[in-house]
Structure 1
Amino acid sequence: MRRTAPAWPSPGAWPDRGVNLILIARSADKLKAAAAELTALGVECVTASVDLSATDAAAQIAKAAGDREVGLLITNAGADPNGSRFLDKDIAAWDGLVTMNVNTTMHLAHHFGQGMKARGRGGMILVSSGACYGGMHGIAAYCASKGFVLNFAEGLWAELRHVGVDVLTLVLGRTDTPSHRKILEESGQAIPEDMATPEDVAEVGLRQLPHGPIWNWGQENDVTGYASGSPDDRRAKIVYIEQMMPSYDTNG
């Protein structure tokens, strides 16, 4: 089942559409500044300073959301802050990374997905990285955690597309964020000129959301690129397997 037209407004249209936000980040100061900027545009903002690598991060976010209807969940944190080979860091550092990318993402999808399923509408954008397609030197745990996001998003899409909920994993290349710039600068690498901007990522993510489960940044959906199969191929495989397993209730 694929929609022929996007159903989600572009980020710039949100104030006019009355779409309000719950903003989550670790830095309270940055949250306050972002909320002030958005409030000036007519957007109601709820903020919560949460460390997403904490084991109770999802519970803290659920508490901040309260009984508000969350129609779109975006999980876009998840850089590798360690900048190290696996055995060169204490295991606690990798526990935090996996908690942030895997457990917190899964718990948030489960919590807010319940309401979306009950209402018969909603969407999830689980931001990922090209590292999801295989292991690479220096980022072993990061690759593994993003591989989870890829497979988790595909499975959610297979289940929730039958109840009106869109799911997309937005597989990015290099994106111009403060954390990525910090990693590049600390490692002595040059800042690439062709990095994606956060504004472009948001625009494309919302446009592609009805056409999940995968979109690879900068590539058409029928192009394999650096992956083991194109998004179209992987989608067809999911549907084929589903059809071979009729015992599953595809109506919810």
Structure 2
Amino acid sequence: MIDPQRHGPWAVIAGASEGTGKAFAKALARAGIGSILIARREKPLSDLAAEIADETGIECICAAIDLYAPDTADHIIKTAGDREIGLFIVNAGGDPEGKNFLDLPVENWIDQVNRGVLAPLQCCQHFGTQMTARGKGGIILVGSGACWGGAANMAAYSGIKSFMLNFAEGLWAELQPKGVDVLYAALGTTDTPELRRFMAAKNLPLPDDLADPEAVAVRLFDEIGNGPVLIWGQADDEAGRLPMSAAGRRTRTLAIGQATKRIFGK
């Protein structure tokens, strides 16, 4: 459960202008936590900040940052400044392409790696160091069911999500004993403006079983202390069509950590 004493007084949300990012910011404000709202477009951020201030009286800070740029992390860290960041949320990471890997210039995929891997790693290093020094905090990496395996039209996307899943599990094993929560959210298809734009551009109908962004925010915040993985639509001990449940992955992560102590030490 989100706790202002543990996960406040400030959160950083990368990908905050709409959809789940907007839902995260509003839920945090209701809990008394202000957010540093980060996305490429400034107006949706400022509109959201004003809406949150009107509804809750909580201050939010807006930063229009290109999340695809190689120096994204530098800008995020500079914006946070000396504020105490108790929660870092990586929420940017949809696939805007939906194309085969060879059909686009490699620069398009490098941009996705910058946004989906390199910037989050740099920010997790920075904010995670501060959180472990305080003995509290949380990191949420919003991912996708694409993490479970590759498929045509999303070779790079699924690879990025799979990397972040494994990174989150390892980071959880390292930081959880130091008081820092880490959670990777393997979401299903969620009803966001980005998804609606993508489906409209492809002239495709919306799926019937879309998850609600507000429900996603509530579930993730309820489960933040139950890392390292949340599988959307399934109970913690339910594997469904997957080889392993979230609880099973937790047990596996801890078991591998115990086994590798002989090699890496504590």
| TM bracket (short chain) | over 0.9
1:188 CA displacement? 1.6
| Aligned-pair CA distance for 1:8 | 3.5
Give the aligned partner of residue 114 of structure 2. 99
**Distance of 1:89 and 1:135 partners within structure 2:** 18
The 3-state SS of whatever aligns with 1:175 is coil
Q: CA deviation at 1:145?
A: 0.3
Q: Which of 142, 149, 153 is equivalent to 1:134?
A: 149
1:1-252 to 2 correspondences below 5 Å: 6=1, 8=3, 14-15=28-29, 17-40=31-54, 41-246=56-261
Q: Distance in 1 between matches of 2:158 and 2:27?
A: 34
Aligned partners of 1:117 and 1:165 also within 8 Å: yes
- Superposed displacement of residue 228, structure 1: 3.0
Q: Deviations over 1:207-235 (max 9, x none)?
A: 11100000110101112224331111111
Aligned pairs, number: 245
SS of the residue corresponding to residue 85 of structure 2 reads: coil
Q: Report the TM-score, using the length of structure 2 for normalisation.
A: 0.87
- Checking the alignment, whether the CA contact within 8 Å between 2:27 and 2:217 is kept in structure 1 is no
CA RMSD in angstroms comes to 1.7
Q: Cα deviation per residue 1:106-160 (whole Å; 9 max; x = unaligned)?
A: 1111111111000000001100000001001111100000001100000000000
Question: Where in structure 1 are there 5+ consecutive unaligned residues?
Answer: 1-5
* Counterpart in the other structure of 2:12: none
Given residue 130 of structure 1, which amino acid in structure 2 is its aligned partner?
G
8 Å CA contact retained: 1:11, 1:202: no
Q: Is the Cα–Cα contact under 8 Å of residues 172 and 227 in structure 2 kept in the other structure?
A: yes
Contact 1:8 1:206 in 2 (8 A): no
Question: What is the alpha-carbon distance in structure 1 between the residues aligned to residue 175 and residue 28 of structure 2?
Answer: 24
Letter matched to residue 33 of structure 1: D
Question: Identity rate of aligned residues, in percent?
Answer: 44
Q: What's the offset of the Cα at 1:18? A: 2.9
CA distance in structure 1 between the aligned counterparts of 2:2 and 2:265, rounded to whole angstroms: 26
Whole-Å separation in 1 of the counterparts to 2:32 and 2:43: 25
With normalisation by structure 1, the TM-score equals: 0.92
Output the CA distance in 1 between the equivalents of 2:35 and 2:143: 21
C-alpha deviation, 1:249, in angstroms: 6.1
Which residue type is aligned with residue 18 of structure 1? G
1: CA distance, partners of 2:265 / 2:128: 17
Q: Counterpart amino acid of 1:100? A: R
- Secondary structure at the counterpart of residue 89 of structure 2: strand
CA contact (8 A) 1:11 1:203 kept: no
Structure-2 change in CA distance of 1:226 and 1:47 (3 Å): farther
